[in-house]
Amino acid sequence: MKKKTLDLTEGNVFPVLLWFVLPILFGSLIQQLYVTADAVIVGQFNGKGGLAAIDSVHTLFKFPLNFMNGLAAGATILISRYYGARDRESLHCSIRTAYTVAVVLGLVCSAAGVWLTPFFLDVMAVPAEICEQTAAYTRIYFGGIWAMILYNMASGILRALGDSRRPLYVLALCSALNIAGDLLLVGLFRLGVRGAAAATVFSQIVSAAYTLWLLAGIEREGGQKRIWHMHFCGEHMLSMVKTGFPLALQAVLFPIANSIVQASVNGMGTDQIAAWGICDKLDMLIWLAADAMAPALTTYTAQNVGAGKAERVKRGVLAGAGMSAACVAVISVILFFGTGTMGHWFISGEDGAAVVPLSVRYMKMMAPFFVFYALAEAFSGACCSMGDTVKPMIVTLACTCLLRVAGILFILPGYGSMECIVWIYIASWIVTGGAFTALFYVRGRRLA
């Protein structure tokens, strides 16, 4: 096991964290690239109708996936602690319990999603001209969402054991299969959005099976039953739910707040929408870099809390937050000075002349403050793994979601400008980053 997993409770803090977080970051980049490739292939072979069919329900799938990812994060924290404490019996029992829960809830999500597809399309007001395509795509996607849930749980378990490298390999394989499937089913056989959904589901089934095989090997090396000998332990399940439910609730509510903000952006006009969209694509590297450090520090902190190494927790979290902030700062400088050039990658001609200067203005406002988002994500991941996920959830919902919604409802009407929306985002990063820094300081002082 030691050759395949990384013990985060030993060794020099900086290189240990660096080698653990890099595969997570590369995995996020690969995932973003294949999502982009998916959209390009559908757009090229199926036109705007296919793109609209996919985009019209894109946020719908986030709710079950985000909720289950929250529960998976709770399982990761629990398993990381048992791994750090060298409690083998509880470790393997919690692994099988987590996977059993993922199997059951994954099948429930798939069945419910397929059954409720007409209701979802009605609620989301999908236009009649794309309703048939959208319904087909949604049913196929929901039909295979159980595999995505199993993969996310399994990769979370592997990271809890200190293995962030092999989930990257699985994700690379999954991405290659997805793109190849799109080219075959959408490009060659002209199956449209049905082919795109089928390619995604097939690639996720392969990734779930592969990670199951990897976990089975780890269990076998530990002298335990293989992972498919599913087991349910009420005590471990309750601990996972207690830890993971606040994270799951936060993951579900966060997109709602951002959707409210996006609705306000949509009311500012086409140029502003396009400019904001360019900013969103360019600053994706900011979110990927900052978001990669959060699960890395969650696992690192949980393992060292389990091992009773309080000082190592503090040193590691500060090192991780510093790495994340430094990386984000470099990207921010590039975006501050380079948006004027890079913006024309997405739009050209007369449209570019009108839209890109707006993107430059918004990006120059935001770039100096991205570092607060990096600090918020780093300290949030650390705080969640110290035992109480309720307070981090409250901080996120109050300082990010509620602040943004309140700004849209009470401040924006007085200004009515896109710049006001940008400042609302900036304020949420500053307040959330400061709140999590203070929360970690308080939690850190209480560590024995």
Collapse the DSSP code of 334 into the 3-class scheme (helix H, G, I; strand E, B; otherwise coil) and give the result: helix
Collapse the DSSP code of 283 into the 3-class scheme (helix H, G, I; strand E, B; otherwise coil) and give the result: coil
Is a pLDDT exceeding 60 seen at residue 443? yes
- The pLDDT value recorded for residue 442 is 84
Q: How confident is the model at residue 222 (pLDDT cuts 50, 70, 90)?
A: low
Is a pLDDT exceeding 70 seen at residue 221? no
Amino acid making up residue 85: A
pLDDT digits (tens, 9 = 90+) for 402-439: 999 999 999 999 998 899 999 999 999 999 999 999 99
**Is residue 268 within 8 Å of 134, Cβ to Cβ?**
no
Poorest-confidence range of 34-43, 184-193, 203-212, 300-309?
Answer: 34-43
Q: How confident is the model at residue 348 (pLDDT cuts 50, 70, 90)?
A: low
- The pLDDT value recorded for residue 170 is 92
Is a pLDDT exceeding 80 seen at residue 1? no
Give a three-class secondary structure readout of 401-448. Answer: HHHHHHHHHHHHHHHCCHHHHHHHHHHHHHHHHHHHHHHHHHHHHHCC
pLDDT digits (tens, 9 = 90+) for 272-291: 877 887 888 788 889 888 98
pLDDT digits (tens, 9 = 90+) for 122-143: 877 787 888 898 899 999 999 9
Is a pLDDT exceeding 80 seen at residue 255? no
Phi, psi of 268 (to 5 degrees): -90, -10
**Is residue 264 within 8 Å of 408, Cβ to Cβ?**
yes
Instruction: Express as a percent the part of the chain with pLDDT over 90.
Output: 40
- The pLDDT value recorded for residue 125 is 74
Residues 6+ apart with CB under 8 A from 9: 84, 303, 304, 306, 307, 309, 312
- The pLDDT value recorded for residue 227 is 58
CA–CA gap between residue 48 and residue 137 (Å, rounded): 15
- The pLDDT value recorded for residue 230 is 65
Q: Long-range contacts for 103-107 (Cβ within 8 Å, ≥24 apart)? A: 103/146, 103/150, 103/230, 105/68, 105/71, 105/149, 106/68, 106/145, 106/146, 106/147, 106/149, 106/150, 107/146
Pick 223 or 196 by higher pLDDT. 196
Angstrom distances, CA of residue 180 to CA of 150, 184, 188, 422: 22, 6, 11, 39
Pick 262 or 77 by higher pLDDT. 77
Is a pLDDT exceeding 50 seen at residue 2? no
Q: Mean pLDDT over residues 13-28, rounded? A: 89
Say what angle helices 310-342 and 270-282 make with each other, to 10 degrees: 130
